[in-house]
């Protein structure tokens, strides 16, 4: 049985992990006969968003690991405990948390940095030559993890694609129900809710990405 490490970035599209993407990913892994363990950085969220109003809740603070535990039904570990040797592949769902908590692309654009514990974990899979999958906005981290020329997609948004290229990657435009594969790096990415208009559309690409991830693992 293949074992996959899943890195979550909180809970909720606007300030954490995109819940639909995360759940569809876990379901697809399980249906394909793989096991998984969820991880998240044990750090404060960059901010907290009221998902009913879309407004930032001033003065409120939440922890990324504690919030991500909601999606994982409590079965989650701090990313500091992620041992690449125990896993066959890595998977990162999207949501704004990927661009706010796992890295700060949402705030700093091409001057972004990846959170140190996240960078260490992701680079460990890259250096070990193990398969990895990145969804939605999470692929923005790929150039800093894999280096110059890495292939990836965030869909078709022109400005975000240009930022991906500026960071050193090679962006590939991709429809919502498809995937982009970097065979050399054993890497798959898919747009998910960067383009999806419904949970069904998101699921189409995610399920293909998970299938390819496990095939490369």
As annotated, the active-site residues are: 136
What is the 8-class DSSP label of residue 141? G
DSSP alpha helix (H) spans, 38-89: 64-71
C-beta atoms surrounding 85 within 10 Å: 7
Q: What is the CA radius of gyration of the chain?
A: 15
186 phi-psi bin (left φ>0, alpha ψ -120 to 50, beta other): left
C-alpha 8: how far from chain center: 7
């Amino acid at each position: 049985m293949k074992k996959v490490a899943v890195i979550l970035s909180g809970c909720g599209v606007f300030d954490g992990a995109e819940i639909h993407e995360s759940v569809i990913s876990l379901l697809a892994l399980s249906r394909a006969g793989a096991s998984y363990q969820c991880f998240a950085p044990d750090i404060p969220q960059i901010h907290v968003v009221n998902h009913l109003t879309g407004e930032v809740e001033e003065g409120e603070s939440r922890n990324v690991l504690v919030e991500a535990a909601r999606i994982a039904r409590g079965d989650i570990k701090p990313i500091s405990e992620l041992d690449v040797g125990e896993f066959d592949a890595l998977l990162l769902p999207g949501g704004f948390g990927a661009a706010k908590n796992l890295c700060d692309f949402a705030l700093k654009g091409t001057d972004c940095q990846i959170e140190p514990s996240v960078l260490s974990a992701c680079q460990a899979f890259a250096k070990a030559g193990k398969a990895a999958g990145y969804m939605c906005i999470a692929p923005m981290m790929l150039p800093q993890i894999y280096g110059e020329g890495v292939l990836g997609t965030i869909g078709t948004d022109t400005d975000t694609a240009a930022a991906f290229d500026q960071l050193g990657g090679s962006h590939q435009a991709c429809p919502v129900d498809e995937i982009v594969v970097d065979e050399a790096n054993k890497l798959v990415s898919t747009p998910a809710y960067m383009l999806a208009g419904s949970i069904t559309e998101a699921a189409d690409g995610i399920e293909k990405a998970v299938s390819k991830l496990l095939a490369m693992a």
